[in-house]
Amino acid sequence: MSDFPWLETLQGAAAVDVAARSDLLARLAEGAGTVACPPVLESLLIGAGVLHQTGEGPVLTAGFAQAWRRDAAGIMARASFIRRAAADVATGLDDLVSDVPAFMAKSATFRLFRYDMAEGISAQHLAATRPWVDYVESLSQSEIPLLLPLIDVRPGDRVLEIGGNTGLLSAALVAAHHGVTAQVLDLPAVCVLGDERRGSDTLRFVPGDARKAETIKGFAGAVDVVVFKSVLHDWPEADAAAMIARSAAILPAGGRLVICERGAFGASDAAGKDMMALANLVFSPFYRDPAFYEGLMTDLGLRVARAQVDCDMIFHVTTGQRP
């Protein structure tokens, strides 16, 4: 069963989003006496397994209450994203399959990812950045336990994670291997949130723009492993290739460049019956065959190995080691 069974139908995800936005779920979680709930919303939430009816009115089911206490931000971020993605697919599939820029211009999901608003650190910048950071964090929470064993980090390594968001993967690498330290390079607002959530002596956040040639070069001599997870598909081939070449250039002998990415969206992904199939579909034009990354690393003189694991799609972990 999925970790988010309440979000397995569109009506369930939409109802969770509506109930979360109106604070209904927070008030129910606090045990705030009788909470008024519109009858149709109540039916949807009961149907999704979020509520059950008692003599005194609706209350949260034990499973949902426990999950909400553990990760309300993740539940809200996923419910909201599924709703946006479903709307985009319903109204925009024509463009998605034939005119991606037109799809993106109209899409509610791409409006969420305002990287321009992550370039400052005012309260307004942080407020615009938090919702998509929470979504990305929630996906990473599920992906990292599966990816971690495939990432070649060794005791004492100094890791640079480019586009590492709020540092979940880097924190997991630091925890999993003795003496490892990590630096996360990301946009300024993302680094502020990351530092608040899990900054430490062994996990540092460095604000910067990875696309600028001098940014990656600035880490030369301080890095044994460079990791990109779910970052490079965001960029056109030329930008991705430039970031890969600059990362390879700062590796010492024996150093590794690790790229974790979903593979090209295919029929088995399209056949997915849960809402993550819709959430991934909006990004489908950008996912690449891992041969693209493998070819670039090989041309740069790295010794390349590849592994894969099934998360909500197949993730490929492509590792290039400098001889």
Distance between CA atoms of 181 and 174, rounded to whole angstroms? 6
Burial of 215 (0-12, 13-18, 19+ CB in 10 A): middle
- At its nearest, how many Å lie between ligand SAM and the CB of residue 298? 23
User: Rounded CA gap, 206 and 184, in Å?
Assistant: 6
As a whole number of angstroms, the distance between CA 26 and CA 115 comes to 29
* 171 touches ligand SAM (CB under 6 A): no
Query: Applying CB under 6 A, which of residues 78, 229, 246, 262 lies at the interface with ligand SAM?
Result: 229
By CB under 6 A, is residue 20 in contact with ligand SAM? Answer: no
Residues 118-147 within binding reach of ligand SAM (CB under 6 A): 118, 136, 140
Find the shortest distance in angstroms from Cβ 236 to ligand SAM: 13
- Does position 83 bind ligand SAM by CB under 6 A? no
Q: Name the DSSP letter for residue 197.
A: H
Select the span of 75-83, 203-211, 271-279, 288-296 touching ligand SAM (CB under 6 A): 203-211
Q: Does 185 bind ligand SAM (CB under 6 A)?
A: yes
Give the nearer residue to ligand SAM in terms of CB position, either 103 or 135.
Answer: 135
Q: Which of 160, 192, 231, 241 binds ligand SAM (CB under 6 A)?
A: 231
Burial class (CB in 10 A: 0-12, 13-18, 19+), 4: buried
* Closest residue to ligand SAM, based on beta-carbon distance: 163
98 bridge partner residues: none
Q: DSSP strand E in the chain: where?
A: 51-54, 57-60, 158-162, 181-186, 203-207, 225-229, 256-262, 303-310, 314-321
- Alpha-carbon span 318 to 221, nearest angstrom: 23
Q: Could you tell me how many residues of this chain bind ligand SAM (CB under 6 A)?
A: 18
Whichever of 64 and 315 has its CB closer to ligand SAM, that residue is 315
Among 9-17, 159-167, 247-255, 289-297, the segment contacting ligand SAM (CB under 6 A): 159-167
230 binds ligand SAM (CB under 6 A): yes
Verify binding: residue 210, ligand SAM, rule CB under 6 A: yes
Nearest CA-CA partner of 167 in 184, 155, 147: 184
Q: Does 170 bind ligand SAM (CB under 6 A)?
A: no
Pairing of β 51-54 and β 181-186: unpaired
Q: Examine residue 167 and tell whether it contacts ligand SAM (CB under 6 A).
A: no
Whether residue 156 contacts residue 179, with contact meaning beta carbons closer than 8 Å, is answered with yes
**211 is a contact residue toward ligand SAM (CB under 6 A):** yes
Kindly tell me which of 82 and 136 has the beta carbon lying closer to ligand SAM: 136
How many Å apart are CA 212 and CA 4, to the nearest integer?
A: 38
Q: Is the dihedral of CA 77, 78, 79, 81 positive or negative?
A: positive
**On the CB side of 157, how many CA atoms lie within 13 Å of its CA?**
26
Q: Is 154 in the site for ligand SAM (CB under 6 A)?
A: no
Task: Give the footprint of ligand SAM on this chain (CB under 6 A).
Answer: 115, 118, 136, 140, 163-165, 185-187, 190, 209-211, 229-231, 234
